[in-house]
Structure 1
């Protein structure tokens, strides 16, 4: 950590530089005692946090870590969400990282212990906590697992690193560092609840099988992109596992919860008045298996994950008015689709969006939404729709 980067003149440069980083690299650092690599890291970090971490972005004196640490860091939105899931007297964050989660956990706990084993990152985060007015967080430069000896906590939190020794991305629990599967019994012995953050790539069924004592799984999406999976474990088996999904969309959130079971009754039917497309969090969670039962909708095909109904209802996803349905036939598409403008989606269809646009010369955009899919009888159909907010 180079404290010269905190000087007022250099901070102003970091916050005001609008050029390309490649240009900065070519010109070199205009400041003594600050390398161009250090300066580029700060400019890049300042830019990256504008949307993901606006509080950090607007706070003067924040010191940014390497890009990889920012990439794995929680956003403000997901950090606040996690802090709303747990609370109590004490929380131990055994994989501290950039400290965003510890920052927000401190609003829900009397004591938060942030542990980071990499000295430089630890120094950066403790400095940032001071800038952000969070000096009450107890910070330690150590291996978080060593703090499990002799003391218990209300909650232990972990966000294992998802890079291997060659810096490649990994997502299986056994590939991450630390491997929580090897330490699970020890962790659960020293807390009432264990909150684990994993990659959204991890299969939920496999995670439930490997982690054994899962009580809840939270699938967190922002603007229909799944960002993280959160697992709440306790040192006792659960009679039921609850899957909770949230899709954060601007000022509103879409929620859908269900009990984890292998399957749920599904009704299949022909397209009705309205089309319903579940959001990304529901798709990741497997919640589409429960949509038909909970919302009284029909599914178009076993593999399409599109639903239909006669009435317009509140729904955690996108809603469309079905204007017409027609078979995927050359003569019909030439008349209704060829050289027209529309948003195009495919679900369980043999051709990709790119292939369909090329074949039928469909321009992008407009008020029209075309869904190419299969009906319950495996026949290729096109749903011509308009969006309902």
Structure 2
């Protein structure tokens, strides 16, 4: 496997299919898995002793970046991961604990993870790997844990995607009170598609919600409950992880409901909140905290004559307001390359690109939106943040 890491797995399968005493399919699967995971799990890929599971388990596991980030929120003597999977979260969160229990119903997957844990770190003995039902395990256990971590499976019996927590496996909504009796703290990893307000109704004791985006794409939503906290209302925090870690944008839904928001015609800059902030629904709080104005009630774009410092989002300097006609588009973008964005405009970005034969690329932006006067407009811009 190590000798052929950089070769085409399909060609390897054809070329070496007759080698005796070698499970060529398994060897090629390991090579293929390493290729797929090289960006997502770089330290595991770099370790020649790690065994990778099927592609489904690989696709569903956290990245090293988000697993390491989650480890900032946890610490203590004992952790139990109710939905171990490939063990990425178990391992990286487990660095903050003395004892870690990994639970996984799939026996073969648990065997792979047990082997991997023995090859990772300087204290592999702190990881206890068990192949059994996690809810049954908790119910029979008299001892409590400092932290419970759970990432409920979001696939139904027919492989359909599930978004409500009560529909996922295990059903943490039905077992929530029991889980709270078994731990001082609980972290739930949920789908990026989760309806946050609905989830807070399902789990009313949650005190923190963290929306985690990587390079402006929402990857995970974390719901955290802590026995020691007595917060009346959940704190909502949006994170955008990139090369340099940005601070969280924080607010509550009560603040969002009551904070004033001001509308304005387009000024020098257009500002687009990060994907994490948009997911939280902090449309008025974003404008209020940064001292900027909204373009239109239904257009989640903002404008300012001067840019705020360290804003969690993208900012564009307007070079020209333009008409969306073929002559003007051809004049500005003769190569046909421009990054097209559309917000609350009759034409979506893909429709604009198709109509004017454009392709995303280059340093210039074409931004279409509805402004404060209710009219759809387009702007030729360059990104400044």
Same fold (TM over 0.5): yes
> CA offsets per residue over residues 234-273 of structure 1, 9 Å max, x none?
4587312111111111234353111233523221111111
Q: In the aligned structure 2, how far is the partner of 1:62 from the partner of 1:363?
A: 41
| Residues 33 and 196 of structure 1: CA distance in aligned 2, closer, same or farther (over 3 Å) | farther
Paired residue secondary structure (2:185): strand
Give 1:152 deviation, angstroms: 0.8
Give 1:82 deviation, angstroms: 1.0
| Residues 364 and 187 of structure 1: CA distance in aligned 2, closer, same or farther (over 3 Å) | closer
Q: Residues 219 and 285 of structure 1 are in contact (CA less than 8 Å); yes or no, is this contact kept in structure 2?
A: yes
The alignment covers a number of residue pairs equal to 376
> CA offsets per residue over residues 49-107 of structure 1, 9 Å max, x none?
21111110000111010111111111111111111111111111111111111111222
TM-score with structure 2 setting the length:
0.91
**CA RMSD of superposed structures (Å):** 2.2
User: In structure 2, what is the equivalent of residue 8 of structure 1?
Assistant: none
| Residues 151 and 348 of structure 1: CA distance in aligned 2, closer, same or farther (over 3 Å) | same
> CA offsets per residue over residues 321-375 of structure 1, 9 Å max, x none?
122234x465994686575642211101111223223433445433321111111
Q: In the aligned structure 1, how far is the partner of 2:207 from the partner of 2:344?
A: 33
> CA offsets per residue over residues 19-38 of structure 1, 9 Å max, x none?
1x333444463543443432
Q: In the aligned structure 2, how far is the partner of 1:29 from the partner of 1:278?
A: 52
Q: Residues 61 and 131 of structure 1 are in contact (CA less than 8 Å); yes or no, is this contact kept in structure 2?
A: yes
Q: Residues 278 and 306 of structure 1 are in contact (CA less than 8 Å); yes or no, is this contact kept in structure 2?
A: yes
Q: In the aligned structure 2, how far is the partner of 1:329 from the partner of 1:83?
A: 48
Q: In the aligned structure 1, how far is the partner of 2:62 from the partner of 2:359?
A: 37
User: In structure 2, what is the equivalent of residue 356 of structure 1?
Assistant: 352
Give 1:293 deviation, angstroms: 0.7
User: In structure 2, what is the equivalent of residue 138 of structure 1?
Assistant: 128
Give 1:159 deviation, angstroms: 0.8
Which residue of the other structure, out of 50, 54, 61, is the alignment partner of 1:66?
A: 54
> CA offsets per residue over residues 290-328 of structure 1, 9 Å max, x none?
1111011111111111111111222111111122234x4
Which residue of the other structure, out of 32, 50, 63, is the alignment partner of 2:38?
A: 50
| Residues 205 and 181 of structure 1: CA distance in aligned 2, closer, same or farther (over 3 Å) | same
User: In structure 2, what is the equivalent of residue 4 of structure 1?
Assistant: none
Which residue of the other structure, out of 297, 303, 307, is the alignment partner of 2:302?
A: 307
Q: In the aligned structure 2, how far is the partner of 1:276 from the partner of 1:378?
A: 18
| Residues 378 and 335 of structure 1: CA distance in aligned 2, closer, same or farther (over 3 Å) | farther
Paired residue secondary structure (2:306): coil
Q: Residues 212 and 237 of structure 1 are in contact (CA less than 8 Å); yes or no, is this contact kept in structure 2?
A: no
Paired residue secondary structure (2:45): helix
| Residues 23 and 170 of structure 1: CA distance in aligned 2, closer, same or farther (over 3 Å) | farther
Q: Residues 214 and 237 of structure 1 are in contact (CA less than 8 Å); yes or no, is this contact kept in structure 2?
A: no
User: In structure 1, what is the equivalent of residue 224 of structure 2?
Assistant: 232
Q: In the aligned structure 1, how far is the partner of 2:382 from the partner of 2:66?
A: 32
Give 1:288 deviation, angstroms: 2.7
Which residue of the other structure, out of 164, 169, 178, is the alignment partner of 1:172?
A: 164
Q: Residues 337 and 362 of structure 1 are in contact (CA less than 8 Å); yes or no, is this contact kept in structure 2?
A: no
User: In structure 2, what is the equivalent of residue 5 of structure 1?
Assistant: none
Which residue of the other structure, out of 170, 194, 203, is the alignment partner of 1:202?
A: 194
- Residue 18 (structure 1) aligned with residue 7 (structure 2): yes
Q: In the aligned structure 2, how far is the partner of 1:164 from the partner of 1:37?
A: 29
Gaps of 5+ in 2: none
- Residue 253 (structure 1) aligned with residue 243 (structure 2): no
| Residues 122 and 341 of structure 1: CA distance in aligned 2, closer, same or farther (over 3 Å) | closer
Gaps of 5+ in 1: 1-10
Q: In the aligned structure 2, how far is the partner of 1:277 from the partner of 1:254?
A: 17
* Equivalence map 1:1-389=2 (5 Å): 11-13=1-3, 16-19=5-8, 21-27=9-15, 29=17, 31-133=19-121, 134-135=123-124, 136-148=126-138, 149-234=141-226, 238-253=231-246, 255-261=248-254, 263=257, 264-313=259-308, 314-326=310-322, 328=323, 330=325, 333=328, 337=332, 339=334, 341-362=337-358, 364-389=360-385
Q: Residues 219 and 226 of structure 1 are in contact (CA less than 8 Å); yes or no, is this contact kept in structure 2?
A: yes
Q: In the aligned structure 2, how far is the partner of 1:201 from the partner of 1:102?
A: 23
